[in-house]
């Protein structure tokens, strides 16, 4: 028998097979059930047909989760085979953006005789940094940019590195300068980043750019690539931001903080949770948009996600997996299966935010070149 | 008869005298009543003694609100005479800070032969701006600062105003420059504020200062005065900030945004609500610390306040009041009586944040002078 209740959200008997009813946001508008994320209904002898018909009438999506005794799909339920959320295909979106950039580069060459140029400075020989730098240069070549590179030994002096930065500041062929982080400990990251001309600060890490990002009525010359990529994903997926609750998990200068400022600029109501937040899960579970950038593998589980939320997973962590060829697999800061069962849209890891970061770096460099072509400059620094 | 109920939070008959029971945060931990801010109990013929005894047993504070038929104080109730919250006396705290500054100025004169100097630039003759400028100059004199002033006509050109700013930038006697806002419409506020040397940007509005405020691992040279004053009030009242939920109402460059960044830096979990937030009241009612800076008279009512929260009211609005001498009285962005009945600490208006703003301006100028005395400079701009 299918037992429904208008007073309780969890009537279930775990030893029986269950039906999950995912409520549409505006269903049952006249009862207290509105907003309850998931109702579980016990059924035994009587078929679930009655309940499912009722559920359809009330405009729900009824999904049978487990077990072979599924009611027939003809009465409006579909067997659960994978996550409920649609995937946000960051790779495909990044490819589209790269094609758009390549087209504009071709036009720019014709109109202004100008080729965007990106300079990448690498200090030392960290394997991961070398990989990133290589893929950035490759991406430049693919869209028709010129790329310039300076590789310096790990023991280079701060002064020498500064000289390299300043030579690129002065070089009119260069529209973006990227110093690959992290730098060796004897070099002040702050001093190097501050030395990059804000006209060429394609990483967007200069405090003048961050300040303009925070202030109403101002526009930064460049927005940091990864958070910019997150917003681009939301916008290309037509996710409404204005008026929505957003939760940013993590408050790094590189992702969390600028992501929060970007959402804020688009009229979201933003809460940034961090290691000192005692009830991060509860706060996150109220958010329509979640950007996870805490750097902790699979910290954000399904419990953190409001049904129907949009989840952007910035994390990329190696997790031991003896069944995988390399002995590990890449996971995000979000526990994918659990979150995907609750979210309406979610980025996979890999293939979500990752490909967007380089696409945004190219976009920033193109913007720098565009401003140079038009003779615009911040005129400072 | 005293009617109590374990199922409803508001049993009352407005024509009768009432008892308010303010629940301690952790009372009735086994019932659904936990967390209900206020219970109202009707009483008529029977004395309220039974209920109050019960209430004491359950570890509440019982407070009788109205009417002459109060039960005797001996049974644990005290007549309600004013708000429950303690007042944060901004004027007294600002006076303490000014004395501290005056003492340091005297020491600085002796040690370095240096007197802090503040330059105030006033354009036009707005009555309110003239009042502010006058009180700033007076405050300078009281702590032993030199003050310099330039009054310009409302039709002064942007170039001429820039020249004044630059002359103060170059003047070693001046450690802080303040251009009184708002400026006439033909002048770009952005251009003028950007022209102030960040070493003398005592208003803290330069994007480089705001950027450093937003970024972890960086420190701004100056923090905007009003939000700095809000934090100073919290710190002097020994309000814990780390790990607490904070709600900032309003997102102006001058108050809301930097206040949120300051709370964030102190490890609060901050949500900034604004005109596009659909459920601002609910969000605010979860906050341990509320900073109201929305510029709307008495918008934040008691319903917005979590029991025991700390409320900082930045607003200052004139409200018609035929009983007042001037025909109006000053009110904040918070409806004081309602909020004070819920909060543990609250700033009055006037006499709360207002006096702190000028005290913080003096503190910023003193910091500028201190850096000048030690030969420190941002060396930029």
Dist. CA A178–CA A200, nearest whole Å: 9
CA closest to A251 among chain B residues: B216
pLDDT digits (tens, 9 = 90+) for B164-220: 999 999 999 999 999 999 999 999 999 999 999 999 999 999 999 999 999 999 999
Sign of the dihedral through C-alpha A332, A335, A337, A341: negative
Name the interface residues of B facing A (CB cutoff 8 Å). Answer: 190, 206-218, 242-243, 251-253, 257, 261, 264, 267, 269-274, 276-278, 280, 283
pLDDT at A267: 98
Instruction: Examine the domain organization and report whether B18 and B126 are in the same domain.
Output: no
Instruction: Examine the domain organization and report whether B149 and B30 are in the same domain.
Output: no
Instruction: Examine the domain organization and report whether B230 and B319 are in the same domain.
Output: yes
- Best residue in A189, A250, A271, A280 for a mutation probing chain B (most B CBs within 10 Å): A271
Instruction: Examine the domain organization and report whether B232 and B348 are in the same domain.
Output: yes
Taking CB atoms and an 8 Å limit, are A207 and B206 in contact across chains? no
* Cβ-Cβ contacts under 8 Å for A266 (sequence gap 6 or more): A231, A241, A242
Decide if B88 is inside a domain: no
Angle at A208 between CA A204 and CA A213, to 5 degrees: 65
pLDDT digits (tens, 9 = 90+) for B40-74: 343 332 334 434 434 444 434 333 333 333 333 22
- Ramachandran class of A165: left when φ > 0, alpha when ψ lies in -120 to 50, beta otherwise: alpha
Instruction: Examine the domain organization and report whether A240 and A334 are in the same domain.
Output: yes
Place of tokens 């028709």: A144
Mean pLDDT of A275-289: 97
Decide if A120 is inside a domain: yes
Instruction: Examine the domain organization and report whether A198 and A286 are in the same domain.
Output: no
What CATH number should be reported for the domain holding residue A100? 3.40.50.10860
Place of tokens 């007549």: B79
Dist. CA A71–CA A21, nearest whole Å: 14
Instruction: Examine the domain organization and report whether A231 and A320 are in the same domain.
Output: yes
Question: Do residues A270 and A260 touch, judged by C-beta distance below 8 A?
Answer: yes
Is residue A295 over pLDDT 60?
A: yes
Decide if B197 is inside a domain: yes
Decide if A153 is inside a domain: yes
End residue of a domain, out of A155, A173, A203: A203
Q: What domain count does chain A have? A: 3
Q: How far is CA B282 from CA A14, A109, A242, B84, in A?
A: 34, 54, 18, 22
pLDDT confidence band for B378 (50 / 70 / 90): low
CA closest to A381 among chain B residues: B381
Sign of the dihedral through C-alpha B251, B252, B258, B259: negative
pLDDT at B80: 40
Taking CB atoms and an 8 Å limit, are B210 and A211 in contact across chains? yes
Instruction: Examine the domain organization and report whether A124 and A192 are in the same domain.
Output: yes
CA distance B216 to chain A (A): 6
Q: How far is CA B203 from CA B123, B224, B295, in A?
A: 17, 5, 20
pLDDT digits (tens, 9 = 90+) for A171-187: 999 999 999 999 999 99
Q: Which of A211, A270, A278 is the closest to B211 by Cβ?
A: A211
Instruction: Examine the domain organization and report whether A243 and A277 are in the same domain.
Output: yes
Give the predicted TM-score (pTM) of the model.
Answer: 0.79
What CATH number should be reported for the domain holding residue B295? 3.40.50.720
Which residue range(s) make up the domain with A317? 224-356
End residue of a domain, out of B140, B172, B203: B203
The answer to which of A41-45, A345-349, B290-294 has the lowest mean pLDDT is A41-45
Q: Which of A123, A207, A181 is nearest to A357 (CA)?
A: A181
Bridge partners (DSSP) of residue B319 are: B329
Question: Do residues B300 and B314 touch, judged by C-beta distance below 8 A?
Answer: no
Judged by DSSP in three states, B233 sits in helix
Decide if B247 is inside a domain: yes
CA distance A278 to chain B (A): 6
Q: How far is CA A260 from CA A290, A292, A335, B178, in A?
A: 10, 11, 22, 30
pLDDT at B51: 43
CA distance B70 to chain A (A): 39
Instruction: Examine the domain organization and report whether A237 and A311 are in the same domain.
Output: yes
Among this protein's residues, is B110 annotated catalytic?
A: no
Q: How many CB atoms lie within 10 A of CB A88?
A: 25
Mean of per-residue pLDDT scores for chain A: 82
Question: Do residues B369 and B175 touch, judged by C-beta distance below 8 A?
Answer: yes
Decide if A373 is inside a domain: no
CA distance B93 to chain A (A): 29
Question: Do residues A208 and A249 touch, judged by C-beta distance below 8 A?
Answer: no
Instruction: Examine the domain organization and report whether B252 and B184 are in the same domain.
Output: no
Q: Which of B184, B152, B185, B141 is nearest to B362 (CA)?
A: B141
Dist. CA B40–CA B62, nearest whole Å: 10
Q: How far is CA B23 from CA B29, B30, B39, in A?
A: 11, 14, 8
Decide if B277 is inside a domain: yes
Dist. CA A16–CA A64, nearest whole Å: 12
pLDDT confidence band for A329 (50 / 70 / 90): very high
**Encoded tokens for A52:** 């499912």
The answer to which of A376-380, B155-159, B273-277 has the lowest mean pLDDT is A376-380
Taking CB atoms and an 8 Å limit, are A271 and B274 in contact across chains? no
The answer to which of A53-62, A230-239, A258-267, A299-308 has the lowest mean pLDDT is A53-62
DSSP states of A286-332: T-SEEEE-S-STT-B-GGGSPTT-EEEE---EEEE-TTSTTSEEEE-
Question: Do residues A63 and A57 touch, judged by C-beta distance below 8 A?
Answer: no
Instruction: Examine the domain organization and report whether B256 and B335 are in the same domain.
Output: yes
Angle at B163 between CA B160 and CA B165, to 5 degrees: 115
The answer to which of A99-103, A295-299, B78-82, B321-325 has the lowest mean pLDDT is B78-82
Decide if A61 is inside a domain: no
Name the interface residues of A facing B (CB cutoff 8 Å). Answer: 190, 206-218, 242-243, 251-253, 257, 261, 264, 267, 269-274, 276-278, 280, 283
Phi, psi (degrees; rounded to nearest 5) at B260: -60, -40
pLDDT at B58: 40
**Encoded tokens for A144:** 């028709």
* Cβ-Cβ contacts under 8 Å for A167 (sequence gap 6 or more): none
């Amino acid at each position: 028998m299918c037992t429904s209740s208008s007073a309780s959200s969890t009537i279930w008997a775990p030893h029986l097979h269950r039906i999950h009813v995912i409520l549409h946001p505006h269903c049952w508008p006249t009862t207290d059930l509105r907003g309850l994320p998931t109702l579980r209904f016990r059924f035994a002898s009587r078929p679930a047909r009655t309940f499912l018909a009722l559920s359809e009438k009330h405009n729900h999506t009824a999904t049978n989760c487990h077990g072979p005794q599924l009611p027939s799909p003809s009465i409006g339920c579909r067997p659960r085979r994978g996550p409920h959320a649609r995937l946000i295909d960051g790779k495909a979106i990044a490819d589209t953006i790269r094609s758009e950039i390549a087209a504009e580069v071709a036009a720019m060459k014709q109109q202004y005789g100008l080729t965007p140029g990106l300079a990448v400075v690498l200090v030392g020989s960290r394997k991961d940094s070398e990989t990133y730098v290589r893929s950035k240069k490759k991406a430049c070549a693919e869209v028709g940019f010129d790329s310039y590179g300076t590789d310096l030994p790990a023991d280079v002096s701060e002064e020498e590195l500064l000289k390299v930065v300043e030579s690129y500041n002065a070089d009119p062929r260069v529209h973006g300068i990227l110093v690959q982080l992290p730098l060796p400990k004897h070099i002040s990251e702050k001093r190097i980043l501050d030395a990059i001309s804000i006209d060429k600060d394609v990483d967007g890490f200069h405090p003048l750019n961050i300040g303009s990002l925070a202030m109403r009525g101002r526009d930064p010359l460049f927005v940091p690539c990864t958070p910019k990529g997150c917003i681009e994903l939301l916008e290309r997926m037509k996710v409404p931001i204005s008026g929505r609750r957003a939760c940013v998990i993590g408050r790094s200068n590189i992702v969390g903080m600028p992501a929060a400022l970007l959402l804020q600029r688009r009229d979201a109501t933003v809460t940034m949770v961090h290691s000192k937040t005692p009830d991060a899960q509860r706060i996150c579970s109220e958010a329509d948009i979640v950007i996870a950038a805490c750097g902790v593998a699979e910290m954000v589980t399904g419990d953190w996600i409001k049904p129907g939320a949009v989840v952007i997973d910035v994390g990329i962590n190696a997790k031991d997996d003896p069944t995988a060829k390399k002995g590990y697999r890449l996971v995000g800061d979000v526990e994918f299966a659990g979150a995907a069962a609750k979210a309406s849209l979610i980025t996979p890891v890999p293939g979500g935010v990752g490909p967007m970061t380089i696409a945004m770096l190219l976009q920033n460099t193109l913007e720098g070149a565009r401003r140079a072509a038009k003779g615009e400059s911040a005129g400072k620094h």
